[in-house]
Amino acid sequence: MTTVAQFEIKYCQYLDAQGNLREPAPALARDTADLIKMYRLMSLVRAFDTKAVNLQRTGKLGTYASCLGHEATHVGVGAAMRQEDVLAPVYREFGTQLWRGVKLSEILIYWGGDERGCDFSVPRQDFPWCIPIASQMLHGAGVAMAFKIRGEPRCSVTYIGDGGTSEGAFYEGINLAGARCLPAVFVVVNNRWAISVPIESQTATRTLAQKAIAAGIPGVQVDGNDVIAVRHVVAEALDRARRGEGPTVIEALTYRLSDHTTADDASRYRPAGEVQEAWQREPLLRLRTYLRKTGSWDDRQEDELKSDCARQIEAAVDQYLSAPKPSTDAMFEHVFAHPTKNLLQQRETARRYANQHANKHEP
Ligand SMILES: Cc1ncc(C[n+]2csc(CCOP(=O)(O)OP(=O)(O)O)c2C)c(N)n1
Ligand SMILES: [Mg+2]
């Protein structure tokens, strides 16, 4: 027997859990203004997430998918992308979306059950949230194919969870991207859980990044709680894609510190010790520690940031709560250019119920 092929998976981390910067770090690690910009957004996302869960608990928001613990991955990806690139998210990548211009109020409007929240004022060509697991892989690969055919120097960035990598669409997406050498980056957010399924039961692979090898494309692991490493690795993959050298799969190692969604109670299946241990590695603390150690951040700035986040969130909540309700017709719009017979029938039924409901409330 002879060895016909060998592969390896590299792992990247610059900022460790104690807030120490490993050398040699990329130039972006020394750009304090940029680090602070990312820290500010990570803090906003954290505060927003808490508020969104509270709104759901008090009956003012529908089921919501928290992003607690994912802030560095999400903000790092956003910061590495160009505005003209296209994002295909799953359902909790708010940090990337906010970096790209999606509004806090749009996020609330969607998770409050109103599809108009997906009609982002900016960025117009990003995809809406994708609830059917892994189907966004095909959108991401398809968009990258369109960019290639048109000769546009743009890339698609597609998110997927650890659980999502067990789906057929994951392999179909990376296979097409590899075969056609597409300008696509796939970010696998390995937060160790797919609802109640731990990563150990999900797959026998040592890393999720190595799944890329089957598609003939590079796979790399990154510390998903280190915003510097995430931004660096994603930026390198995007540069590569823009140079025409094809796609990359990036596995970001992080942890879902929250329940799966507000409809879940993770304490029923997840050991408390594991969660406590994961809090020691969480992404905001290490960046704040680093900024403080280097004299770039102090208590006054932290207090001001907290007040600023609270103000922005309060304004977004006001906007969300005062938004006029959509008509029942709205959910049937933008599905097909020409609605199907079934949809038209359902629209009629919905109109009937809406009228009955409206009449009940008449004085
Ligand atoms: C095709 C499909 N199957 C099942 C579900 C139900 N479901 C919703 S989230 C989820 C787990 C996803 O886990 P993962 O991909 O790790 O993403 P995470 O929620 O951890 O970010 C499942 C099975 C779904 N939405 N779509
Ligand atoms: Mg997961």
pLDDT digits (tens, 9 = 90+) for 23-60: 899 999 999 999 999 999 999 999 999 999 999 999 99
Res. 357 pLDDT band, cuts 50 70 90: confident
Kind of pairing, strands 197-198 and 193-194? antiparallel
Q: Report the half-sphere exposure of 330 (CA within 13 A, side-chain side).
A: 14
Kind of pairing, strands 184-190 and 156-161? parallel
- Evaluate if residue 360 carries a pLDDT over 80: no
What are phi and psi for residue 31, nearest 5 degrees?
Answer: -90, 90
Q: Which residues are catalytic?
A: 256, 260, 269
Cis peptide before 363 (omega within 30 of 0): no
| Distance from C-alpha of 178 to C-alpha of 172, rounded to nearest angstrom | 10
Question: Are residues 161 and 133 in contact, defined by beta-carbon separation less than 8 angstroms?
Answer: yes
pLDDT digits (tens, 9 = 90+) for 87-125: 999 999 999 999 999 999 999 999 999 989 999 999 999
What 8-state DSSP symbol labels residue 176? H
- Evaluate if residue 363 carries a pLDDT over 70: no
Ligand 1 pocket test, pick from 66, 71, 96, 133 with the greatest ligand atom count within 8 Å of Cβ, gives 133
Ligand 1 pocket test, pick from 96, 195, 197, 202 with the greatest ligand atom count within 8 Å of Cβ, gives 195
pLDDT, residue 297, reads: 98
Cis peptide before 326 (omega within 30 of 0): no
Res. 65 pLDDT band, cuts 50 70 90: very high
Q: Which residue has the tokens 């790092």?
A: 76
Question: Are residues 187 and 158 in contact, defined by beta-carbon separation less than 8 angstroms?
Answer: yes
pLDDT digits (tens, 9 = 90+) for 144-161: 999 999 999 999 999 999
| Distance from C-alpha of 48 to C-alpha of 320, rounded to nearest angstrom | 13
Segment 218-244 shows an average pLDDT of 98
Q: How far is the CA of 162 from the centre of ligand 2 (A)?
A: 5
Furthest C-alpha separation in the chain? 85
Q: How far is the CA of 57 from the centre of ligand 2 (A)?
A: 23
Q: Pick the residue whose CA is nearest to atom 19 on ligand 1.
A: 194
Atom of ligand 1 minimally distant from the CA of 195: 11
The encoded tokens of residue 171 equal 């392999």
Segment 176-201 shows an average pLDDT of 98
**Average pLDDT over the chain, rounded to an integer:** 97
The string of DSSP codes covering 39-83 is HHHHHHHHHHHHHHHHHHHTTSS------TT-HHHHHHHHHHS-T
Instruction: Give percent above pLDDT 70 in the chain.
Output: 99
Q: Pick the residue whose CA is nearest to atom 12 on ligand 1.
A: 194
pLDDT, residue 361, reads: 57
- Evaluate if residue 126 carries a pLDDT over 90: yes
pLDDT, residue 115, reads: 87
Q: How far is the CA of 11 from the centre of ligand 2 (A)?
A: 19
What 8-state DSSP symbol labels residue 21? B
Atom of ligand 1 minimally distant from the CA of 134: 1
Instruction: Give percent above pLDDT 90 in the chain.
Output: 93
What is this structure's pTM?
0.96
Q: Which ligand has the minimum distance to the alpha carbon of residue 66?
A: 1
List all residues whose CB is within 6 A of at least one atom of ligand 1.
92, 131-133, 161-164, 189, 191, 193-195, 256, 260
The encoded tokens of residue 52 equal 């969104």
* 3-state secondary structure at position 165: helix
Q: How far is the CA of 274 from the centre of ligand 1 (A)?
A: 21
Sign for the CA dihedral angle at 259, 252, 240, 247 comes to negative
Atom of ligand 1 minimally distant from the CA of 202: 16
- Evaluate if residue 274 carries a pLDDT over 60: yes
Q: Which ligand has the minimum distance to the alpha carbon of residue 70?
A: 1
How would you class 195 by CB atoms within 10 Å of its CB: exposed for 0-12, middle for 13-18, buried for 19 or more?
Answer: middle
Q: Which ligand has the minimum distance to the alpha carbon of residue 196?
A: 1
Question: Are residues 52 and 111 in contact, defined by beta-carbon separation less than 8 angstroms?
Answer: yes
